[in-house]
Each structure stands twice: as C-alpha cells, then as structure tokens.
Amino acid sequence: MNGKSPTKMESSLILRAAGHFLLPLLVLFSLFLLLRGHNEPGGGFIAGLVAASAFALYTFSMGLKSARKTLRADPRDLMGAGLTLALLSGVPAMLQGQPFLTALWWPLTLPLLGEVKLSTVLAFDIGVYLVVIGSVLTIVLNLAEAEENAEWKS
C-alpha cells in the first residue's frame, strides 16, 4: 500500500466535490429525521438509512480508506452498541414493575431550548439508528474492500 487509492471513480471531480459537501449535510438531515420521528414521519430506521447512504456516497467519492477514517468507529461496533442501547431502553420499565419496553418520559426544561422530552423511546430510536448505520456500512465497506482487492490483483 503506497497510499494511492485505486478507485476509478476518484477521477470524477463533480462526485468528489459533491461528496465532500453532502456528507455533513446528509448526516445533519439524518439527525433531524431521527428527532422528528417522535411525532411525525421519520425515526431511527429511515434516519439510519440516510446517514448510511451519506457514508456510502463518501466512500465512492473519496475511497475506502478516508471513509473508514471519517467514520472513526468500526461499523460492527456501531451495530453492537446500537442493539445494546435499544434493548436496554426497555429495561427501566421492567425495573419499575411495568412490562418490557413501556415508554417512560422525563420532561426537562432547558434554558435556551424550552421543554425537552427525554424518554426511553428516544434511546430506542438512537439504538435503531446506530444498528442501521452499522449493518448497512458493514455490507458497503466490505463490498468496497472486495472490489479494491480485486482491482489490485488485476
């Protein structure tokens, strides 16, 4: 490995420029969808897909190595952490003697934002978000890796 990324797609200037700007925008949009999913269409699953597609786009435009670097965490860790979080979000209700996954709410009043509703539902949604990002990116990054290895050999 001499640091040279062998993808052919790198040559497209438009894709590279777009990938650079779209990643933060799409990740922000996914967070918006995640939080909005509380009362309106959205939620952890669709938000996770948007975030994962943002990273997939970044992988195609910037190459696998820099995508892994930007993501920081290994996708498998995201999957594990997300699944753990989603499952544990059901447990507080059980400790209170209510059925598993019963929603619990803790309304908070913050100085600038007004009332914020923290809940186990939010924790569940964030868990789903992480699982979706993790599983989609595990597949995408592994496929990209296989592709790169194939190109190296040929």
Partner 1 sequence: MSSSYLVLPVLIPLLAGALSLLFWRSHTAQRWLGVMATGALLWTAVLLLLLTWREGIQVVEIGNWPAPFGIVLVSDLLGAIMVVLTGITGFATALYSLTSIPKQHEKYGYYPLLHLLLAGVCGAFLTGDIFNLYVWFEVMLVASFALIILGGERAQMEGAIKYVTLNLFSSALFLSAIGLLYGLVGSLNMADVADKLSQLSGEERGLVSVISLLFLVAFGIKAAAFPLFFWLPASYHTPQVAVSAIFAGLLTKVGVYVLFRFYTLIFIDDTDLTHTILLWMGILTMLVGVLGAAAQFEFRRILSFHIVSQIGYMILGLAIFTPLALVGGVFYIMHHIIVKANLFLVSGLVYRLRGSYQLKDLGGLYRSHPWLALLFLIPALSLAGLPPLSGFFAKFVIIRAGIEAEQWLAVAVALLVGFLTLYSMIKIWNEVFWKAVPEGASCTPRIYHPQSEKLGMYYLPIIGLATMTVLIGIAAQPIYELAEAAAAQLLDPRLYIDAVLGERP
Triad 121, 126, 129: Cα angle to 5°: 125
What does the block give as tokens for 137?
């990116």
Query: Which residue, 26 or 131, has its beta carbon nearer to partner 1?
Result: 131
Q: Minimum distance from CB of 150 to partner 1 (Å)?
A: 17
Q: Minimum distance from CB of 7 to partner 1 (Å)?
A: 25
- Torsion sign across C-alpha atoms 25, 66, 70, 41: positive
Q: Minimum distance from CB of 147 to partner 1 (Å)?
A: 18
Query: Which residue, 103 or 116, has its beta carbon nearer to partner 1?
Result: 103
Query: Which residue, 50 or 79, has its beta carbon nearer to partner 1?
Result: 79
Q: Nearest to residue 7, comparing CAs of 58, 49, 75?
A: 58
Give the footprint of partner 1 on this chain (CB under 8 A).
76-77, 79-81, 83-84, 87-88, 90, 93-94, 97-103
Query: Which residue, 97 or 114, has its beta carbon nearer to partner 1?
Result: 97
Q: Minimum distance from CB of 132 to partner 1 (Å)?
A: 14
For residue 102, give every residue at least 6 positions away whose Cβ sits within 8 Å of its Cβ, in sequence order, or none: 90, 93
Paired strand residues for 116: 108
